[in-house]
Structure 1
Amino acid sequence: MAYRRGFLFICVLSCILAVTTGVHAGGYDAFKGLEGTLRISGGTAHIPVMKALAREVMTRYPAIRITIAGGGSGVGIKQVGEGLVDIGNSGRRPTDQEISAYGLRLHRWAVDGVAAVVHPENPVRSLTSRQVQDIFAGRVTNWKEVGGPDRAIHVFTRDEASGTRHVFWKKALGKGAIRKDADVVPSNGAMKTAVATDPAAIGYISVGYVDETVQALALDGVEPSLENVRSGRYPVARGLYSNTKGQPSALAQAFLDLLFAPEGRRIIASKGYIPADR
C-alpha cells in the first residue's frame, strides 16, 4: 500500500512538472539563447497581436529582431510558401491545394468575428442579411431605403486576397456579388479609417479592430460581440492562422508557442479576439 501511495505521488508530481514546464517553455523564456530575425507577413487582422508580442520579445531579448508586414491572407500564404518569410498569417484556412503545394503547417490561435461597420453619425444600427447583401450588390443604393438618411451609400471592400473579405463574402453576403464600383482598401486599419471619415460609408472589419471611431452593425438582430462570436450566435466568424512551411525554425516555433501560452492568450484577448486551443 505504501509503495502504491508513493508511486501515485510520483505520478502526480510528474504531471504537475510536465504541465508547469510546458507553460513555462511556451512563454517568453522559450526565447532564451535564441537570436536572429523572424519574418512575418500576411493577414492584417493578426497585426495588433503580432506587434504586441514582438515588442515584448525584442525588449527582453535584444539579439532577436521580428519584422511584421501585412498584405492580406493570400500574400502571407504565398510568401511563406515561397520561403520569403518564416510565418505567413491568414484570416482563412489555407486551401488543400495551398497546403499541398507549399507543404504548409497550420497554427490556428484565435477566433475572430467580422462586422459590417458604418460612420458613428449614421443612425442605422442593425441590418438584415438580405439588406447587407443588397447594399453590397448595389441593389440598395441610398441609406433611406434601410432606415437611414437620404444619402447615397458609399461601399468599401477589400481585395480578393483578403481573408477578411473571404469570410464576409461567404458568411454575410452568401457568396453574392459586390458592386464593381466599390472602393477597395488594403487592410483592416485602412478600412476603419475610410469608414470613420465618411458619413455615407459602409465596410467591414475584424471585430478586434472595432472602436469608437466606427459603428459595428448587428446582423439579423445579433450584435457582433465577443460573447456572440464565441457562442456561435454571430455567424460571420473565422479562425486566425499563422502558417509555416514545414517544420518551423527554433525562433518561429518559440513565437508560435507563445501564441498558445498564458502570456500570449492574454494579449490575444486584450486585442479583442478569442484565444483558441491547440
Structure 2
Amino acid sequence: MFIVTQKEKKVGMLIITLFAIAILTTTLFSGCTENKPAGTTATLSLGGSTTVQPIADACAQAFMVLHSNITVQVYGGGSGVGIKGVAGGTYDIGDASREAKASDLTDIQGVTLSDLVAHKIALDGIAIIVSKEIYNAGVTNISKTQLKGIYNRTITNWQTLGGPNEAIFVVGRDTSSGTYTSINDMLGLNQSTQILDVARSENAQVKAAVAGQNNGIGYVGLGFVDANTPAVKLNGISPSISTVTDNTYPLSRSLYMYTKGPASGVEQMFIDFVLSTDGQKIVEQEEFVPLPK
C-alpha cells in the first residue's frame, strides 16, 4: 500500500492546478500566437545539493506541466558536485546550500568564481536531530557551544548534556556537502576538527543513520525533520519557518541555484518559475522557507 503524505498531496494539487491553467492558456491563445515548430524540445539539467533537491524536483514537475516541450532532469551529489558541474558544463544549473568557493573550481580550467552567478531561491535552517531514545530521555535543547563540542569530540557522552550514560554516536555529511561546510562555518570548525563516526552524502542517509542508533546525533535540512528523528532546540530556539525567516535560529542559511554566466533561455525560465508565487509555494510545501516578499 502506498501512503501519500500531506506535503505530497499539496504539491500534487498545485501541479494539477498548473496543468489546468496550461490547458486553458493553450486553448485560449493557440489561435492568437505563433506556435513553436512541431518537435521543438529542450532539456535542462540540474544537480548538486541534496538539501535543494526536493525543491528542484517538485518545481521541475510543475514546470514541465506548464512547458511540455521541456524536460528537466534533477540530480543530487552535494553542493560541491553542483558547483563543479555547472562550472564544467555537466549541469545547466548547479544547486547549492552554501556560497561557491574558489576551491570548488580547482580542477576546472578557465573558470573563476566571477563566472558563476548565484540565484538565491529559498531559506533553510540546519536542524540538529537526535535518536528518539535520547530525545525521550530529556535531551531536547543544547547550546551552540555544546554542539561544537560534540563535533570536535570534547563532549563524548550524553550524560554531559543531561541525558543517559551513553557514548554519543556522531553522524555528519561528507566533505562535498554544502551542509558540511555550513556547519563548519557556523560552529567555527574545519575539516580536521569535525570528527564523525559516520559520514553520509545525503540528508536522507544522515536521518537513517541517526534513526538506526539509540544514541545518535546528526544534522539535516529543515525539510527532513520528522518524529523518528526529532530536532532539538539550539540555544533554546526551535528550527522552524518563523525562526529561520526572522534569523533567530542560530543555524539559518540561504539556498542557491548557480548558473555559469547570467541565466538565459530555459535556465532563466526555470529560475523565474522557482522565484514565482507558485514556485515559492512549492518551497513552503517542501517545508523550506520562501524568500521574504
Q: Under a length normalisation based on structure 1, what TM-score does the superposition of the two structures give?
A: 0.82
1:108 CA displacement: 0.3
Verify the 8 A CA contact 1:222 1:234 in the aligned structure 2. Answer: yes
Aligned partners of 2:60 and 2:95: how far apart in 1?
14
1:164 CA displacement: 0.8
One-letter amino acid of the structure 1 residue matched with residue 251 of structure 2:
V
How many residue pairs align between the two structures? Answer: 249
Verify the 8 A CA contact 2:63 2:273 in the aligned structure 1. Answer: no
Match of 2:87 in 1: 81
- Aligned partner (choices 66, 69, 73) of residue 63 of structure 1: 69
Pairing 1:178–2:190 present: no
1:272 CA displacement: 1.6
1:237 CA displacement: 1.3
One-letter amino acid of the structure 1 residue matched with residue 56 of structure 2:
M
1:112 CA displacement: 0.6
Verify the 8 A CA contact 1:81 1:102 in the aligned structure 2. Answer: no
Structure 1 range deviating more: 142-151 or 83-92: 142-151
Structure 2 unaligned regions, length at least 5: 1-20, 26-34, 106-110
Verify the 8 A CA contact 1:86 1:248 in the aligned structure 2. Answer: no
Pairing 1:119–2:131 present: yes
Match of 2:18 in 1: none
Q: Under a length normalisation based on structure 2, what TM-score does the superposition of the two structures give?
A: 0.78
Match of 2:29 in 1: none
Aligned partners of 1:162 and 1:238: how far apart in 2?
14
Verify the 8 A CA contact 1:35 1:251 in the aligned structure 2. Answer: no
Verify the 8 A CA contact 1:127 1:221 in the aligned structure 2. Answer: yes
Match of 2:253 in 1: 238
1:271 CA displacement: 1.3
Aligned partners of 2:278 and 2:89: how far apart in 1?
28
Query: Looking at both structures, which has the greater relative contact order when contacts are Cα pairs under 8 Å and sequence separation is at least 6?
Result: 1
Pairing 1:255–2:261 present: no
Aligned partners of 1:220 and 1:237: how far apart in 2?
13
- Aligned partner (choices 132, 140, 143) of residue 147 of structure 2: 132
- Aligned partner (choices 210, 220, 226) of residue 235 of structure 2: 220
Aligned partners of 2:290 and 2:54: how far apart in 1?
14
- Aligned partner (choices 40, 53, 57) of residue 47 of structure 1: 53
Verify the 8 A CA contact 2:59 2:282 in the aligned structure 1. Answer: yes
- Aligned partner (choices 174, 197, 220) of residue 159 of structure 1: 174
Residues 175-221 of structure 1, C-alpha deviations (whole Å, 9 max, x = no match): 26212x52110011111121122221111011122122211111111
Match of 1:143 in 2: 158
Verify the 8 A CA contact 1:167 1:237 in the aligned structure 2. Answer: no
Residues 96-125 of structure 1, C-alpha deviations (whole Å, 9 max, x = no match): 675834711110011111021101222311
- 3-state SS in 1 of match to 2:133: coil
Aligned partners of 2:233 and 2:122: how far apart in 1?
22
Aligned partners of 1:43 and 1:254: how far apart in 2?
20
Structure 1 range deviating more: 58-67 or 139-148: 58-67
